[in-house]
Amino acid sequence: MVDTVAYERISARLESQHVTLVAVSKTKPASDIEALYAMGQRDFGENYVQELSGKQPQLPADIRWHFIGHLQRNKVRFIAPFVHLIHGVDSLRLLETVDKEAARAGRRIDCLLQVHIASEETKFGMDAGEIRELLMATDTGRKLPNVRICGLMGMASFSHDHLLVRREFQGLKSLFDDLRSGLMSSCDYFSILSMGMSADHETAIEEGSNMVRIGSLLFGVR
Ligand SMILES: *Cc1c(COP(=O)(O)O)cnc(C)c1O
């Protein structure tokens, strides 16, 4: 069930904070997406290629689809024709594949590099050193003309330790600021910091997030 009251409240607050709301609709039916679309929401996030490529043709063409899951290289081609932003790029090889598939689709695809900030082993992402290496190897993305590296994404630990979560967000924000003033200083599009989910988005925003990915608060538990 879509919680339209929560949507009104959350979207108004985020708009006043200049934070982009990505409504995470994974596992939810197209009718739930239509309900928020009717209220003005345009940015939706999905985790699974098969599910996203099934939903996309059934829904309005002006939806901005964010791919927020772990993306396998052999699946990039299914979303390359329409995806708005890929949040989870975690290797040079994946970025190269996105570049190739973007060229094939005749477009440029915006990407975020995923940073591993959580203390858990299971979360995907690169560390700060690997991010810098990737940026050097691609001349801050210029060697891959069909992608644009638009910022960073990270997921904090699933933890009730608020201080730990806050410190992880702070670490990501400081890497983002460092890269923006250094390596990426000539790229005005390097401007997106995607951090924060239902449980931790308020902390993330306090620590400098400008894009949050919210599912269960809007669509109910999965
Ligand atoms: C599922 C998911 C979300 C949304 O999670 P909620 O806790 O339901 O808000 C955000 N980001 C990523 C990467 C996800 O996989």
User: Considering only CA atoms, which residue is closest to atom 6 of ligand 1?
Assistant: 215
pLDDT at 1: 85
User: How many independent structural domains does the chain possess?
Assistant: 1
pLDDT at 129: 96
Q: Does residue 222 lie within any of the structural domains?
A: no
Tell me what the pLDDT averaged over the chain comes to: 96
pLDDT tens digits, one per residue of 163-201: 999 999 999 999 999 999 999 999 999 999 999 999 999
- List of residues 6+ apart from 144 with CB closer than 8 A: 95, 96, 99, 138
pLDDT at 121: 73
The three-point CA angle 217-221-222 to 5° equals 130
Residue 25 CB less than 6 A away from ligand 1:
no
Dihedral, CA of residue 188, residue 201, residue 7 and residue 55, to nearest 10: 70
Tell me how far apart the alpha carbons of residues 130 and 101 are, in angstroms, rounded to a whole number: 23
Q: Does residue 17 lie within any of the structural domains?
A: yes
Q: Does residue 198 lie within any of the structural domains?
A: yes
The three-point CA angle 130-136-140 to 5° equals 105
Structure tokens at 161: 């330790």
Q: Does residue 30 lie within any of the structural domains?
A: yes
Domain span including residue 111: 4-217
Ligand 1 centroid – CA 214 distance (Å)? 6
State the CATH number of the domain containing residue 113: 3.20.20.10
Residue 154 CB less than 6 A away from ligand 1:
no
pLDDT tens digits, one per residue of 132-173: 999 999 999 999 999 999 999 999 999 999 999 999 999 999
pLDDT at 120: 78
User: Considering only CA atoms, which residue is closest to atom 12 of ligand 1?
Assistant: 68
